[in-house]
Chains A and B, each alone.
Chain A
Amino acid sequence: MSKAKEYSTVTSIAGPLLMVEHTAGIKYSEIAEIILKNGEVRHGRVLEINQDKALVQLFEGSMGLNLADSRVRFLGKSLELGVSLDMLGRIFNGLGQPIDKGPSIIPEIKLDINGLSINPCARDYPNEFIQTGISAIDGMTTLVRGQKLPIFSAAGLPHNELAAQIARQAKVLGQEEQFAVVFGAMGITFEEADYFITDFKKTGAIERAVLFMNLADDPAIERIATPRMALTCAEYLAFEKGMHVLVILTDMTNYCEALRQISAARKEIPGRRGYPGYMYTDLATIYERAGRIIGQKGSITQFPILTMPEDDKTHPIPDLTGYITEGQVILSRELHRRGIYPPIDILPSLSRLKEKGIGENKTRGDHGSVTSQIFSSYARGKEVKELAVILGEAALTETDKIYARFSDELESTFINQREDDERSIADTLDLCWKLLLLFPRNELKRVKDAEIEKYFLKGQQFEDK
């Protein structure tokens, strides 16, 4: 701390921002400690530096600060997180300090929480199938190691249950490897946080988990650091310790609101709906920290959860997220109302890396075509059902009626499953074939004859044969 510079020249405070004047030698993005009159220490980061004026963003909020007595100490380094293997099984606050009454962590190394970009040349393409045991995900929006696949949810939908189930069941077939879960909570309620902690404790997953908790009543600005803390810890576990890390970040909507709050306090020109124009870049620096690296054993798979305001997919938060992540799992209020769990709307859901993770030697040779057939038949089925609402069931042709029945069955037997139901990928694909049995052969254009011969359940027949 000998190099630390301390100033008591705070000239203005606005929201989470603080202006310090007559500074010298301050660097952009360095970290500052703000010492209050009563000795309390808060943290901040230099957002802008103009000659001898430094603009500092406070992580813990400005409540109780005054101009005369606050002292600011610049530390000459970026925000860092001390990491070590002892972090497994522990709970931290949004700034990485332990809150589970356990001892403090003796760091093995200290890492800059902003990380660096992975060189695209060094990346290894994600292509190892992760079995989540959930048919709608494994079959239709297949997850692979190193992917970033967000859940687009909305208020009142069971995204937490789904995330917990994935954390519990996710595995790579035929391999027993070191696996860890890093959980970053931004602005969720105590009850939601408690749900995860209890679930992790109940299943023993807590032993392999690191939790970073910024709850709804914690300072909003701290949320800017929380996902980066979580990912820094994940990078350490994955690329230093060779673990396969699943990172769950919830709720990204709260993160984006904190970003907007700072932008507004800085009086920046707002982009869409008041969110800053650089939100895409900012979100990318979080999401792009998923991946695999050539020659490294570990991997980071990201599961960000966000709640879509008004269930609107075109809202800037889901919209920009969708442009960065490799697909999305969208939850549907309509399915939820009908009691279907998980209420995954498979048509707009997508996994961009699916094609690389499926097929012979990964899942099964028929995976691609059978699910493509399910998609197109389900899309037609939904259309038919819409038509039936307008014209009445009687107006449907015989073929159309099959489609309507198919989409009902798909929702109630394939998408629907219990929270403790873990289906293998073979079960999931067999279920697909069983559902396709409803159709005459000539309606199934996306599956090839050879696949039917090879994978179709023995003794089963199409209607027209």
Chain B
Amino acid sequence: MTRFIVMRLLTIVPIMFGVSFFVFILAHLAPGDVTTTLTGPYATEETREQIRESLGLNEPLPVQYGKWLSHILQGEFGKSIANRRMVAELIFPKFANSAILALTSAAMAYVIGLFAGIFAASRPYGYFDRFTIAGTLMFGSIPPYWFGLLLVLLFSLTWRWLPATGMTKIVGGGGPIDVILHLILPTIAAGAAPAAIIARTVRATMLEILSQNYIKVARAKGIRRGVILRKHALRNALPPIATICGLQLGYLLGGVLFVEVIFAWPGIGYQLWQAIQARDIPTIQGASLIIAVAFVLVNLAVDVFNAYTDPKIRISEGVRSR
């Protein structure tokens, strides 16, 4: 088990190198001179020279990458072009705001997805199942930006029940009630698609598991229907369910950019969008890096969880008998 975790941790090392290299190369992909890309069009020649020096822009690409990486590893993402602040200062608080929205959305998606998926699979082709299939199809292909706007239209503009935008400060603003009110619509908008995807996966996985021989054996043993569903089937369906749940949380942690944009939620996705509009490359780099790291770590956690629940990996002594 420990061996598995160590091995799995080792696999993310090359991935993280690759990710950082990709983010590094972004600055070179942008059209125009790299110094302009990194310092903005109004930078003085002095600033340009400074960045050339600090990142070794006159040296070969590998050296540049090395220098850049050592900056990043010290938490130095460079300076934002748009508002002259350090990128790190800018993005970490934003990431925390995204995490709040991600967690509420994920919670909603998990509850709806799991329950709908399991109930649908327990009576395949019944009414609830058909209803679930239709729902997952609908919400699986609904564009989040459009769904968000419809929510705003109905709940904020027409009925005036909930605020659409205006969330600027999470801490020290209007208090917890205010935060919760501001969270409701974005949470629904962001959680709808993951809920549909999770429900679909849970349903498919449960149906697959329920067709296994050991389920037939459990029925032949006279185990109650509900117990088979909850104990035998769900326990075996756990790895794919955990994987899809982790994946969706990863997506949400990346800031559901569209939802953040529509509701002006001060998260990492909104920040990324603003950076893109301002062609603020250092901020784009910082934001994408932090999102990728979060995504990789969530997937790592899922793999470790799945390894822990699999007796074949947990007990790695192999086949013992004849």
Pair from one complex:
no
**Interface positions of A (Cβ within 8 A of B):** none
